[in-house]
Amino acid sequence: MKYSHPLDAVDTRIVTLLQEDATLSHADLADRVGASSASCWRRVKALETAGVLRRTVRLVDPVAVGRGVNVLCNIRMRSHAVEARQAFEQFVDSRPEIIECFSMSGDWDYLLRIVVADVADYNDFLMQTLLAHSSVAGASSHFALSMTKYTTALPV
């Protein structure tokens, strides 16, 4: 659902602050944006209803949970038929190690971000799972040496 009107200054500040710390209470949020707690609560609810604010999550350190290797994997499909794409996208959705998936223009059909423990873990996933999928014709993998920027916050 699209937000039907542009964000005003208070909505913009609310969205910015909640992207930094979603645990802020309505009272703390109201203090920081210069509004009453009730007004802030109504604005947050309106932003949720409009689809601007979506689910609240906690970010996990991938190294702390043994998933410190990031692989960017380009996928080429065997077929571009609707059924093949749907089957692949359902497969992607079912795999927890695939944390991002983009349908692409250009030479490759999809770009996946995959998090694994190590190169051997990725090799197993690639050979036994990803390339075994009936829709996948080929893959090209790129290992991230380091992450120089990571954010989930969108500029508003």
* Residue 92 to residue 104: CA distance in whole angstroms: 15
Question: How much is the pTM?
Answer: 0.88
Model confidence at 78: pLDDT above 70: yes
Q: What's the pLDDT score for residue 128?
A: 98
pLDDT band at residue 5, thresholds of 50, 70 and 90? low
Q: What's the pLDDT score for residue 6?
A: 83
Out of 1.10.357.10, 3.40.50.740, 1.10.10.10, 1.10.132.10, the CATH code matching 9-49 is 1.10.10.10
Q: Where are the domains of the chain?
A: 9-49, 69-143
Average pLDDT of the segment spanning 73-83: 97
User: CB neighbours of 131 closer than 8 A, spacing ≥ 6?
Assistant: 138, 139
Average pLDDT of the segment spanning 43-69: 95
Please give the backbone phi and psi of residue 152, each rounded to the nearest 5 degrees, phi first.
Answer: -105, -5
**Tens digits of residue pLDDT in 109-143:** 999 999 999 999 999 999 999 999 999 999 999 99
Model confidence at 4: pLDDT above 90: no
Q: What's the pLDDT score for residue 7?
A: 92
Average pLDDT of the segment spanning 68-88: 97
Indicate the burial class of 94 (C-beta count within 10 angstroms; 0-12, 13-18, 19 or more). Answer: exposed
The CATH architecture of the domain made up of 69-143 is: 2-Layer Sandwich (3.30)
Which residue pairs, CB below 8 angstroms and at least 24 apart, start in 58-65? Answer: 59/152, 62/115
**Tens digits of residue pLDDT in 6-53:** 899 999 999 999 999 999 999 999 999 999 999 999 999 999 999 999
pLDDT band at residue 87, thresholds of 50, 70 and 90? very high
